[in-house]
Amino acid sequence: MSAIVDYKNVLERIGEKFGAKVHSPEEPYGMLTLKTDKDSIIPLLQFLRDDVELQFIFLTDICAVHFPDKAEKFEVVYHIHSFMHNLRIRIKVALSGEPKIPTAINIFKGANWMERETYDFYGVIFEGHPNLKRILNVDEMTIFPMRKEYPLEDNTRLDKDDKMFGRINVNREN
């Protein structure tokens, strides 16, 4: 079998192929985290999956983060797993302006529902997705509930007096 692969080898292989397009490696809590841009994410995933040595063949999750105060308001996060070497990598893509990113369905079939979920909660548009509609929330929902501009609390409730919760100055939609 092939030699043991660790994060150092992974970084070297990615560096050879992508250079400065993949940057800022970190290891928070012992998990390699990389950053890239939306033009490089699909080739990067393709490379990591198809490389005979690395074999990151499993997409664990796709999710997003909302940073309302940053210029790049949304960040899409990919988690991939190499069963062969028992390694996991986190890849972050920051999006400025309209949150749009190409779909990863052509690399991982399982990305379909993950991207729908991310769209459902954050409104990130995955370009090229065949069926980008809500998956978990009710179809009638008009908001993307995990975005920070929307209140977490249900706004159909009429029995809650903000005074009782010590938040007289908090603006709520209702």
Partner 1 sequence: MALDINTPQAKIVAPPLGVGGPGYYATSFDKAIGLAKQFSIWPLPFATSCCGIEFMATMGPNYDLSRFGAERLSFSPRQADLLMVMGTIAKKMGPVLKQVYEQMAEPRWVIAVGACASSGGIFDTYSVLQGIDQIIPVDVYVPGCPPRPEQIIDGFMRIQDLVHNESQRRRNSPEYKALLESYGIR
Instruction: Figure out which of the listed residues 50, 136, 162, 167 binds partner 1, where binding follows CB under 8 A.
Output: 136
Q: Which stretch binds partner 1 (CB under 8 A): 67-75, 81-89, 93-101, 147-155?
A: 147-155
Q: Who's near 166: CB < 8 A, 6+ residues apart?
A: none
Instruction: Figure out which of the listed residues 137, 148, 172, 174 binds partner 1, where binding follows CB under 8 A.
Output: 137
Give the up-direction half-sphere exposure of residue 32: CA atoms within 13 A in the CB hemisphere.
19
164 binding partner 1? (CB under 8 A): no
Q: Which stretch binds partner 1 (CB under 8 A): 43-51, 54-62, 79-87, 139-147?
A: 139-147
Nearest to 104 by CA among 36, 154, 17: 36
174 binding partner 1? (CB under 8 A): no
Angle at 91 between CA 71 and CA 133, to 5 degrees: 75
Q: Which stretch binds partner 1 (CB under 8 A): 5-13, 48-56, 93-101, 133-141?
A: 133-141
Torsion of CA 163, 165, 169, 170, to 10 degrees: -130
149 binding partner 1? (CB under 8 A): no
Go through the chain and tell me how many residues it has. 174
Task: Write down the number of H helices and E strands in the chain.
Answer: 3, 7
- Give the nearer residue to partner 1 in terms of CB position, either 26 or 162: 162
Task: Give, rounded to a whole angstrom, the gap between the first and last alpha carbons of the chain.
Answer: 63
Q: Which stretch binds partner 1 (CB under 8 A): 39-47, 57-65, 75-83, 140-148?
A: 140-148
Residues that bind partner 1 (CB under 8 A): 136-138, 141, 143, 145, 150-157, 160
